[in-house]
Amino acid sequence: MKKISNTIKSLALLAIVSLATIACDKDFANIDSNIQGIKNFETNSKKFPVVSYSQKISDNDDIGVQTNGLPGNLLGVYPDPNSIYGMTTASVVSQLTPTNFNADFGTNPVLESVILTIPYFSSLIEKDSDGNSTYELDSIFGNPEAVYNLSIYQSNYLLRDLDPASDFEDPQAYYSSQEDIFCSQLGQLLYEEDDFKPSNEEIRIPELDDNGDPVMDDDGNPVYAERIVPSLRVDLNDSEFVPEHFWEDLIFANQDNDVLSNSNNFRNFFRGLIFKVEAIGTDGNMQMIDFSNSLAGVVLDYINDEEIEEGEEDIRNPTAYRLVFNGVRANTINNDFTLPTIPDTVDGDDKLHLKGGDGSMAVIELFNGTTLDEDGLPVDAFTFFKNREGKWLINEANLIFYVNQDDVNDNEPDRLLLYDLKNNTPIIDYLLDGTTNTSEPTKSKTAHSEILERDDDDNGIKYKFRLTEHINGMLLRDSTNVKLGLYVANDVNLITNSKVENTIDDQDDSTINTFPTTSVLSLKSTVLHGSKPSIPEGNRVEFEIYYTETEN
């Protein structure tokens, strides 16, 4: 029933957007007809009050944001250059699933290697005449030369697909705050490196001859059987950590057992891997890692008696048993950031703190306060605006945020995302923006939300949002003046939401119950000037409406 309800909600939202588009066209036409033929009209603008303040996902460190089902995962340590945001550490727990079930390992299977491969997100820079490729890592943050401790364990924690609290009707959610729970059930240590850092080097697997020696070409250069993009690639059968025959006893000894017969049995039997990260000192780096890549998985290479060619006992053809990361997978995110001050929900904050991960956002309340009417008298801003119906044709409405350059340090995100907090969706101007760019997300949806404007020294200056249709909805269609949420965005095309722990779906916009997934995946942060009246104009948040008004 939950899935059906979500589908109905999605269809309803689509219908509302379609109707809103039609209504916009109709309403604009009606207003046009009201001023057609009237020669006396004036184009002008008016600034309205706005209150803005910071809000964390939760002030409770035990409350996190949902991280299973993310399109990518973070791994590593990231000291935010904006020192107020502290150090972030991200680990991963994931299920594994065999690519074939009821495998026949043959007679006397002998394990050759157990290799884990998980590609990083990278771009090909060039390829030389010998076929060697040079890559650049796309999604790495911090100091690429810094190191951290990486340990990979067998997990004994059962990751469920369905939530028993819902009588197994709803998907189980896992949260960024649950590292202690996952790590309370660590199994066998499989790999550890106390000075780990991701590499942008191509991985080259040499071709071997029948005797197991590297094959050389006519010029004496090695011939490679396989070339792999930059990846986390390690041996999970290193005798320094793994007991002798660990994998043989785990897999080969269960050849005729039901635990290898289907995915559910296997995931209950071998519950996955935990990639545990620990900081070394105050430096580090963090990267996006691609568990969904076709190369990602664990390969057990082995040989058996059937593969020994008759009369040629030294010639063996290895066979492989492959496990892939297509089950439940979740990120844990630890960060020591707290808001410097208690949010001022009346006058607004002087600084807005925006941080990705399970971080913080800003709440925006439009028309919150008073404005001057035609006689110069203070009146309620929203009431004054609503009384412009039939008198104003809105040409454009802008919301501008200025970067507080005293508090940022080269970490400003290029894009922010503006949400309707009542419906947990981007505002209608985003949905109607046709400038979608999937190949370069930074350049997507720029009619509604401009890329961060920078000065000649590359310092961030301001973010500008056009919310013309959002404002038109209030004036022409009696839409609710909902609170808005402002978030750091890793990819403005990604508008799915991640649930905040211990919150419910049906509530008003005063409690944050979801966080945009694009913000969860972002390590960027910034500090903006807020809306407190003491902040001078030119820095304070600006909300301005440009309109056409008849003069009679």
Assign 370 to helix, strand or coil: strand
Task: Report how far residue 404's alpha carbon sits from residue 413's, in angstroms, rounded to the nearest whole number.
Answer: 13
Task: Report how far residue 300's alpha carbon sits from residue 357's, in angstroms, rounded to the nearest whole number.
Answer: 34
**Amino acid 7: pLDDT:** 40
Query: From the centroid of its chain, how far is CA 141?
Result: 14
Q: Identify residue 55 by its one-letter amino acid code.
A: Q
Yes or no: say if 134 and 126 are a contact pair by the CB < 8 Å rule: yes
Nearest alpha carbon to residue 199 among 236, 144, 249: 144
Report CA-CA distances (Å) from 186 to 254, 264, 465. 22, 20, 47
DSSP codes of every residue in 311-369? T-TT-B--EEEEEE--S-EEEEEEE----SS---TTT--SEEEEETTTTEEEEEEET-S
49: left (phi over 0), alpha (psi -120 to 50) or beta: beta
* Burial group, residue 86, by CB count within 10 angstroms (0-12, 13-18, 19+): middle
Assign 37 to helix, strand or coil: coil
Yes or no: say if 399 and 465 are a contact pair by the CB < 8 Å rule: yes
Tokens 């009346």 map to which residue?
346
Task: Report how far residue 44's alpha carbon sits from residue 58's, in angstroms, rounded to the nearest whole number.
Answer: 42
**Amino acid 82: pLDDT:** 82
Task: Report how far residue 186's alpha carbon sits from residue 272's, in angstroms, rounded to the nearest whole number.
Answer: 10
**Amino acid 309: pLDDT:** 58
> How is residue 5 annotated by DSSP?
H
Q: What is the pTM of this model?
A: 0.87
Report CA-CA distances (Å) from 488 to 332, 356, 482. 19, 6, 20
The three state secondary structure string of 115-149 is: EEEEEECEEEEEECCCCCEEEEECCEEECCCCCEE
Yes or no: say if 197 and 148 are a contact pair by the CB < 8 Å rule: yes
b/e per residue 409-418 (b: at least 16 CB within 10 A): eebbbbbbbb
DSSP codes of every residue in 468-525? HHHHHHHHHS------EEEEE-S-TT---EEEBTT--SS--TTS--EEEHHHHT---E
Yes or no: say if 449 and 417 are a contact pair by the CB < 8 Å rule: yes
Task: Report how far residue 275's alpha carbon sits from residue 155's, in angstroms, rounded to the nearest whole number.
Answer: 9
Q: Count how many Cα atoms sit within 13 Å of the Cα of residue 142 in the half-sphere of its side chain.
A: 29
Report CA-CA distances (Å) from 195 to 147, 149, 231, 277, 281. 5, 6, 16, 11, 11
Residue 236 CB neighbour total at 10 angstroms: 21
> How is residue 280 annotated by DSSP?
B
**Amino acid 313: pLDDT:** 53
pLDDT (tens digit, 0 to 9) for every residue of the chain, 552 residues total? 443 344 434 434 444 444 444 344 434 333 333 444 445 667 899 999 999 999 998 777 788 999 999 999 999 999 988 888 999 999 999 999 999 999 999 999 999 999 999 999 999 999 998 889 999 999 899 999 999 999 999 999 999 999 998 899 999 999 999 999 999 999 999 999 999 999 999 999 998 887 778 888 888 888 898 999 999 999 999 989 999 999 999 999 999 999 999 999 999 999 999 999 999 999 999 999 999 999 999 999 998 888 765 545 555 556 899 999 999 999 999 998 889 889 999 999 999 999 999 899 999 999 999 999 999 999 999 999 999 999 999 999 999 999 999 999 777 899 999 999 999 999 999 999 999 999 999 999 999 999 999 999 999 999 999 999 999 999 999 999 999 999 999 999 999 999 999 887 655 666 789 999 999 999 899 999 999 999 999 999 999 999 998 765
